[in-house]
Amino acid sequence: MTDRYAVIGNPIGFTKSPFIHGTFAKATGQDLSYEAIEGPIGGFAATVDQFRADGAKGLNITAPFKLDAFAYATELSESARRAGAANCMKFEGDRIIAENFDGVGLVRDITINLDVKMKGRRVLMLGAGGAARGALLPFLRQEPSELVLVNRTLSKAVALAEEFAGCGPLMISGYAELADLAEGYDVVVNATSASLRGEMPPLPGNVLRGAELAYELAYGKGLTPFLQAARAEGVAKLADGVGMLVEQAAEAFSWWRGVRPSTAQVIVELTVPLS
């Protein structure tokens, strides 16, 4: 019997998940179907109840339902609990187990696909929203020499720093103060929503200079203002979030099916040139 999986979001027409998981299933010989569900706002629980009643095995979650999934689950992984949100669930009888693979997918893309090591390096994260929150623990587990979290609203960054106190060398900063801390960052990650609006985060001009990697979490947008600035400053490697998208999907697939698919060709097929 074919096992059913899906991704739920609203809107959902943009999603690449059915293509990604369909490709994974074909490559690994897994008998599964994977669909996209546009869940009604305010109707997440009822929609997932029906999906489970129909015999589904698992679900990916995208905006705006990651907090709903967190609340819906009966069991939370440490990653989901720390992130305060879930992007993946597995159904085992009455058990609804929630995970968050966004951060580990991002780390895998940076350290494996892009071959940029984070251990002992200075890392700068722009933004303190959900994307940054999900990445903090996986980043700190890489043992950077320093992870600086910068945000327009400093109180949000302060709250995250307090929550993750003791997990690693996490510092906070406002954008205005960032220039004083800029002694050369190795990895700079844009986890703000600025690029979705075609805007540039208010970075001091010297912050990107000398970095090995500038990583844009938004994907499929080409050369965003952040990546344009990084190129102008001579950053060695530029990347957007397509690799993170595929790697977090591979983590979910492996969790569900017990076999890890290769990601390289899928990343190539989904990559939009940075030009």
Catalytic-residue membership of 119? no
Q: Tokens 């999934």, residue?
A: 69
Coil, strand or helix at 4: strand
Amino acid at the residue 113: N
In contact, 43 and 71? CB cutoff 8 Å:
no
Q: What does residue 132 show for φ and ψ, rounded to 5 degrees?
A: -65, -40
Coil, strand or helix at 194: helix
In contact, 136 and 128? CB cutoff 8 Å:
no
Which two tokens mark 4? 């059913």
Q: CA-to-CA distance for 85 and 87, rounded, in angstroms?
A: 7
The sign of the CA dihedral 11, 71, 81, 151 is: positive
In contact, 146 and 122? CB cutoff 8 Å:
yes
Q: Name the DSSP letter for residue 195.
A: G
Active-site hit among 16, 26, 57, 66: 66
In contact, 36 and 18? CB cutoff 8 Å:
yes
Q: What is the largest CA-CA distance in the chain?
A: 60
Active site residues: 66
